Amino acid sequence: MHAAGSPTVRRRELGALLKALRNAKGWTAEQVADRLTMSTSKLSRLETGQRGASARDVNDLCNLYEVDDEQRQHLLELASEGKQRAWWQALALPYSTYVGLEAEAISISDYGLGIVPGLLQTADYARAVVRAAVPRWVPEVVEQRVQGRIARQQLLQAETAPHFEAVVDESVLHRVVGSPGVMQAQLERLLAMSDLPNVTLRVIPYEAGALPAGNNKFIILGFAQPAISDVVFIEGLTGDLYLEDPRDVEIYIMTFRTLVQLAASPDTTREIIAAMIPSYRARAS
């Protein structure tokens, strides 16, 4: 993989620990901000991991919270790691926060009605998707987005690869993205990726009926660190949404489990995909 850790996750881990220390003191964010002559908005961004913390920030908070030397050192290391440059920053991806979380997730549950999950796309399929999403983008930007998507896929074959479980609607297999040739290669790619021990792919057949999900795309990310809560990522046309409230996350987890029950088994899914490849091959030729 590209890096040993994710600065995004380190910032969130640091923020969660700082918030826990504040709560242990029984102080509000306003009380801490007043004591340190810091704005409450800055403290909030530190505690949510939206901004990196300086060594001075950490030391000031540790002094206030009366943190011991061992824990102080750990927090300072998290702050330092949270400011490191990640590989995806060079690509200027608009969803860099998501990539930073995905890079260190131990489980990824992906549900979609419209397209093949990004981690399973071929370059040609991804290129057609990006062009359709933003037609005004110049070829250089399109290729940059495709490069970022393909680079992310190394995650699934890394030594510490997460468990990736995807549920897609059958319509995804029928929608011709790019061309029949592109679709043939994409379905072959799905079969190859579903062979990986950490990848589970399921298709919801048309006969499953109405689906319980109110939106057509969401991803649930799980993490090994106790301080990092699970996150639901919802991609929007005008902005992305990250849900971290345990009650919200649980609703999406339950919905995903229901979708899994409606979907075909992994073996049957492979049969469905394999049966469609000859048709695309014939149309491509």
Tell me which residues of the chain have a pLDDT lower than 50. 1-4
pLDDT value at position 167?
Answer: 97
> Is 222 within 8 Å of 107 (Cβ atoms)?
yes
pLDDT value at position 267?
Answer: 97
pLDDT value at position 50?
Answer: 83
pLDDT value at position 2?
Answer: 41
pLDDT value at position 1?
Answer: 39
pLDDT value at position 92?
Answer: 66
- Per this entry, what is the length of the chain? 285
pLDDT value at position 3?
Answer: 43
Q: Which two tokens stand for residue 191?
A: 């079969």
Q: What is the CA radius of gyration of the chain?
A: 21
Rounded to whole angstroms, how far apart are CA atoms 100 and 25?
Answer: 31
Torsion angle defined by CA atoms of residues 55, 59, 61 and 64, in that order, rounded to the nearest 10 degrees = -170
pLDDT value at position 225?
Answer: 83
